Structure 1
Amino acid sequence: MKKDRATIHDIALKLNITASTVSRALNDNPRISDATKKKVLKVAKQINYQPNHIASALRSGKSRLIGVIVPTANRNFFSSVIRGIEELANSLNYKIIISQSYDDFEKEVQTVEALLNARVDGIIASIAKTTENVDHFKKVLEKGIPLVLFDRITNALEVSQVVIDDHYGAYQTVDHLIKNGCKRIVHFTSNPRINIYHERRRGYEDALKDNGLEVDPNLIIFSNLQLEDGRRIMQEIIDSKIDFDGVFSSSDYSIMGALQVLKENGYKVPAQVKIAGFGNEPFTSFTEPPITTVDQKSIPMGKITAESFFELLNADSASSVAKKTILKPELIIRKSSTNNS
């Protein structure tokens, strides 16, 4: 009965060399000549040899695979962070496995389990909105596997973390709206247990207070911050006759929805209402008017996250080098929030 999977023994048989020589050649061992490496790679391609990473990991203790968990990969922020991680990982001959939690706790738990079963050398993650219990991440640490969190983090774990200064980004944005004449600013936010939304709301409130303006709880609206949420909330605010002259959202997607509804209801942006988002998604520069937003330095965040991971991987004790890195975001001012025509 013919076996389905080609092995290093098949390559060795064809070239009349030992399996250990094939293994060393495939792993680019300097003891093996370039000529032998070329022959091995040629035969491996011919017989469609695929390395068994799990078996290799069991033998060597290293799979050279990193699990990366994001809420969703179709957002510019997360895809750019992944790019930053992958660039450094690839330069060190590591590959990444990208998994999406879709902001679902159960899916996140299952993903962590699957990555552990795949014998990854470590995990990099941004926590789902619905995650409260972090026992699945504690399991990673208990196994002695490096874990780094970025963007959405938790203080319940002693791990390396890479974030931006969300408070600073929100404060700068709201202060800018106030300097351009806004006095009643609506704030779109989400689950306050998630660090980024807590910090952005804190920045919003501090900017109001420092400018002598009241924090009105009626202007703070919670949702999932999707485009349809922005549309729904904006229409409800307009229908409720709530007095407002500005909108600051913790997400570019919901501010895009708000802009659509404002225009549909005859509001002029920025003449009557000034708006700003958070994330610097590509579409924000193409809207009419272009939307003011906060750039989260996603590619640098990815690279620094990867650097933190490899520091842990190469350390004697993961906990001994656990650290928190805070990056400074940048306010990108566009026409949606200024008095300039």
Structure 2
Amino acid sequence: MGSKPKVTIHHIAEKLNITASTVSRALNDNPRISEATKKAVIKAAKQLNYQPNNIAAALRNGKSHLIGIIIPTADRSFFASVVRGIEEIANRVNYKVIISQSYDNYEKEVQTVDALLSARVDGIIVSIGKNTENFDHFKRAQEKGIPLVLFDRTTDELEVSQVMIDDYLGAYKVVEHLIQQGCRRIAHFTSPKKVSIFKERLRGYMDALRDYEVPFYEELVVKSNLQLEDGRSSMEQLLELPQWPDAVFSASDYGAMGALQVLKERGIKAPQEVALAGFGNEPFTSFSDPALTTVDQFSLTMGRITAELFFESFKTEPDKKLVPQKTVLKPELIIRGSSLKTEALKKDREDSSV
């Protein structure tokens, strides 16, 4: 059996005994078309299972009403929440989103940009992959006049609007808190990749140590991909040292959770012997035992602001150059049991004296 022919606006016009141009105007919410006609056209389109050709429409009117979103991975609550925030704003102005994952793979990211350009998206919103160091694919999009907005993982090599959290301040607050809990050998899990967020978190870690005159030990900085298994192997590496750290600050919650698993398996108390803190406020951090101290990145707000900046770019006059805007959100330190060393030690002493 052959496949059914594709339903067009001509089929809808024939069913309603009106012209194809009237159907087209009704589907595009033209004010010259009556509400009764619009409702009849929409009803007939649903009955006939009409699927609009967005690419053809984009060629006709210059707008596809589609935004391409590229994220490293969709299985992180942070990125899912940012996308939700973007969609909230996009839906208000009748825009839809196409979500793609780069998996932190440079070649995949390049292919995705090319695919989105072929799909005639009106713009691209992206969080750059860990392995991306060449930005020519994004520059190609800009040369075609496609608006580009970056969030979270950004670069100053592109003259575009950016939305990010103050990673430096978030890291500084974490280390400051650990120092106030009496920690003096504070380890840090970071990434070997040249990604701005991890460089800024490392800088915040080192500056906090310096400002509070706490020694920096190079062997306590462990580089990895910051996944759960990486957190486990990094913690095991630290426990091989002649002197253990008394705290670990991981640049991701997943790394901190892997470290917590290893401590539990070895019977090492957290936070009494090793305090822990992560970054990201993933949902699981409030359910671990002890609950994990972390940094909230306000992902939903980040998504909304990113979308607002994106649509602001449409308001720029064609003969005027768009002035990129950088929005930096203030992070919030969420203190939970995994880092409250002073309180846990006090409770242990009280319990032993009973």
Partner of 1:265: 266
Larger deviation, residues 235-244 vs 38-47: 235-244
One-letter amino acid of the counterpart of residue 99, structure 1: S
Partner of 1:30: 31
Q: Distance in 1 between matches of 2:221 and 2:321?
A: 38
Partner of 1:64: 65
Deviation at 1:137, TM superposition (A): 0.2
Q: Distance in 1 between matches of 2:243 and 2:93?
A: 55
Deviations 1:189-240 (A, max 9, x none): 0135100000000000000000101221111111000000001111121123
Q: Distance in 1 between matches of 2:237 and 2:92?
A: 50
Q: Distance in 1 between matches of 2:316 and 2:165?
A: 25
Partner of 2:351: none
One-letter amino acid of the counterpart of residue 251, structure 2: S
- The 5 A counterparts of 1:199-210 are 199-210=200-211
Q: Distance in 1 between matches of 2:4 and 2:278?
A: 56
Deviations 1:69-98 (A, max 9, x none): 000011011000000000000011000000
Partner of 2:231: 230
- The 5 A counterparts of 1:1-341 are 4-316=5-317, 319-338=321-340, 339-341=342-344
Q: How many residues align?
A: 341
Q: Distance in 2 between matches of 1:262 and 1:18?
A: 72
Q: Secondary structure at the match of 2:187?
A: strand
Deviation at 1:242, TM superposition (A): 3.9
CA contact (8 A) 1:57 1:63 kept: yes
Deviations 1:254-286 (A, max 9, x none): 100000001111110111111000000000000
CA contact (8 A) 1:158 1:319 kept: no
Q: Distance in 2 between matches of 1:313 and 1:65?
A: 13
Q: Distance in 1 between matches of 2:333 and 2:89?
A: 27
Larger deviation, residues 321-330 vs 169-178: 321-330
Larger deviation, residues 315-324 vs 58-67: 315-324
Q: Distance in 1 between matches of 2:239 and 2:167?
A: 28
Q: Identity across aligned pairs (percent)? A: 65
Structure 2: stretches of 5+ with no match in the other structure: 345-354
Q: Distance in 1 between matches of 2:190 and 2:172?
A: 14
Larger deviation, residues 8-17 vs 315-324: 315-324
Q: Secondary structure at the match of 1:72?
A: coil
Q: Secondary structure at the match of 1:255?
A: helix
- Considering only aligned residues, what root-mean-square deviation do their CA atoms show, in Å? 1.2
Return closer, same or farther for 1:301/1:323 CA change in 2, 3 Å cut-off: same
Q: Distance in 1 between matches of 2:120 and 2:317?
A: 19
CA contact (8 A) 2:130 2:193 kept: no
- TM-score, length-scaled by structure 1: 0.98
Deviation at 1:328, TM superposition (A): 0.3
CA contact (8 A) 2:232 2:255 kept: yes
- Which structure 1 residue ranges, 4+ long, deviate > 3 Å from structure 2? none
One-letter amino acid of the counterpart of residue 124, structure 2: I
Deviation at 1:2, TM superposition (A): 7.4
Structure 1: stretches of 5+ with no match in the other structure: none
Q: Secondary structure at the match of 1:202?
A: helix
